[in-house]
Amino acid sequence: DPLFHIHLNVDYPFNLTGILYFPKIDNKFEIQKNKIQLYSNQVYVTDSVEGIVPEYLTLLHGVIDSPDIPLNVSRSYLQSDRNVKKISSHITKKVADSLSDIFTNKREDYEKKWDDLKIFIQYGMLTDEKFAERAKSIFLFKNTEGKYFTYEEYENLIKANQTDKDNKVVFLYATDVKEQYTYIETAKGKGYDVLLMDGQLDIAVVSMLEQKFEKVRFTRVDSDIIDNLIVKEDKKNEALEAGKQEVLSSIFKSQLPKMDKTEFNITAQALGENATPIMITQSEYMRRMKEMANIQAGMSFYGEMPDMFNLVLNSDHKLVKEVLADEDKECAAAVAPVQAEMDEVNKQRTDLKKKQEGKKDEDIPTAEKDKVNELDKKWDELKTQKEGIFADYAAKNKVVRQLIDLALLQNGMLKGEALNNFVKRSIDLIK
């Protein structure tokens, strides 16, 4: 059944009759092109309409008949024929006008069919600038509560509460309500509204809208901690001191399971005592580039890059504080001599490098260069030794691995043996 159909009936400045309809298609981009048949006085001409009608219209199905379409000529001739160009322009306008009329007079029906219709509108906006201009007022956003808004309606809804310190209105979105449930609820707890953008062309449309509107930014709800999604004022420095950051990073990094083409950057931030102790986020930019690589030629470089995630530890949370305190008690004696040696090596290395400042490479004695290389190697060895101490401690600390696995589980990243081990450990912890 068609979502909507559009009748064409023109007798000036050219003759044209026909009917086009928007077919309901699967949401996996199972799009069939070349389903518009062109006739001239009821004589079949072609169904290969790309280049004859705008690209997005090749997604529609239907029949067009016009005596002004010449018979038995090449497709390249059709593309350059003046009447064909006029017909193409008219059809574009007619489709946009018909959709606008349905939107204005039957908005409820339009909204009900939007989830199926949007791929046509999006494809048109991405491939035809004139259509994009006509369609911007009938393009709809849907939020996670199932309500629909035009761009202008939605901006007016959120701008009071979702404008950042740079005066940009931040559109938060999710791609899967179930998988990103916790992040969505956290955003709602701040009074934010969240869009649902689960279509195959949504990311491309998001990038297009950001280019068209300078004071707008789209960010997925799981791309950062909630306070960083919409930064409303410059933050005071609440970072954990460097030494403790290093300790936490070594402890938790040592217990992360190995995953193909996946890398983690571990940070600690003060998020408040009642916030979650650990969470995983993914950079909006890198994730979007990888998603665009799946639909846009020339971006395969991003598709080959590993997935980059941030493992964020809440330094205010009781469990993270306990890990730090317990580590200090268990590891201090073993770490102290290693750290003292590292400090001495670092001092020697710094003194040598200062001595070499301003000198050309050929003026530095070979013995000094060798000494610097030797100190660098020694420092790396000591660093590895210190990280080994933290790793041995972390392997015995069930809380560390439990926190990591909870974060992975929440993001659908805990599978196979790691998931089985998590279940066993969970049972042990509650015995």
- Using alpha carbons, list the distances in angstroms from residue 113 to 59, 74, 106, 118, 396: 16, 38, 11, 8, 55
Q: What separation, in Å, do the N-terminal and C-terminal C-alpha atoms of the chain show?
A: 58
The average pLDDT across 222-248 equals: 84
% of the chain exceeding 70 in pLDDT: 92
Residue located via tokens 């044209």: 16
Using pLDDT thresholds of 50, 70 and 90, give the confidence band for residue 251.
Answer: very high
Sort strands 278-282 and 262-269 into parallel, antiparallel or unpaired. unpaired
- Interhelix angle 366-396/318-356, rounded to 10 degrees, is 170
Confidence of residue 63 (pLDDT cuts 50, 70, 90): very high
Higher pLDDT, 390 or 359: 390
pLDDT, position 132: 87
Average pLDDT over residues 74-82: 69
| pLDDT value of position 298 | 60
260-272 tens-digit pLDDT: 888 899 999 888 8
Reply yes or no: is the peptide bond before residue 13 cis, omega within 30 of 0: yes
pLDDT of 372-394, one tens digit each?
899 999 999 999 999 999 999 99
**pLDDT at residue 140 above 60?**
yes
What's the mean pLDDT in 278-306? 74
Residue whose C-alpha is closest to residue 389's, from 331, 323, 321, 343 = 331
Residue 124 has pLDDT above 70, yes or no: yes
pTM, two decimals, is 0.79
DSSP string covering 230-270, please?
S--SPPP--PPPHHHHHHHHHHHHTTSPP-TTEEEEEEEE-
CA distance 343 to 132: 62
CA–CA dist 338, 207 (Å, integer): 50
Give the chain's mean pLDDT.
Answer: 87
CA distance 267 to 406: 17
Q: Is the pLDDT of residue 72 over 80?
A: no
Neighbours of 394 (CB within 10 A): 21
- The order of strands in the sheet holding 16-23 is 2-10, 16-23, 61-65, 35-40, 43-46
Calculate mean pLDDT across residues 159-187: 94
Residue 263 near residue 309, CB atoms below 8 Å: yes
- Residue 28 above 60 pLDDT? no
Q: How confident is the model at residue 302 (pLDDT cuts 50, 70, 90)?
A: low
Task: Show the DSSP H helices in 106-180 as ranges.
Answer: 107-112, 114-127, 129-135, 151-158
Cα 284 to Cα 289: distance, rounded to the nearest angstrom: 9
Instruction: Pick the range with the lowest mean pLDDT from 29-33, 92-96, 101-105, 392-396.
Output: 29-33
The pLDDT assigned to 149 comes to 97
Q: What is the pLDDT of residue 177?
A: 94
Q: Which of 27-36, 184-193, 412-421 has the lowest mean pLDDT?
A: 27-36
Those residues whose C-beta lies under 8 Å from the C-beta of residue 189, and which sit 6 or more positions away, are: 226
Question: Which amino acid is residue 126, in one-letter code?
Answer: L
Higher pLDDT, 352 or 154: 154
* Spatial separation of the C-alpha atoms in residues 250 and 397, rounded to whole Å: 13
Distance CA 135, CA 113 (A): 16
Report the alpha-carbon distance of residue 391 to residue 387 in Å, rounded. Answer: 6
> What pLDDT shows up at residue 331?
95
The pLDDT value recorded for residue 35 is: 81
Asked if residue 27 has pLDDT above 60, the reply is: no
Q: Exposed, middle or buried by CB within 10 Å (0-12, 13-18, 19+), for 32?
A: exposed
Amino acid found at 354: K
pLDDT band with cut points at 50, 70 and 90 for residue 172 = very high
- Scan for tokens 């000591």, then name that residue: 382
pLDDT value for 411: 87
Do residues 307 and 299 make contact, with C-beta atoms less than 8 angstroms apart?
Answer: no
| 8 A C-beta contact, residue 175 and residue 411 | no
**What confidence category does residue 278 fall into, taking pLDDT thresholds of 50, 70 and 90?**
very high
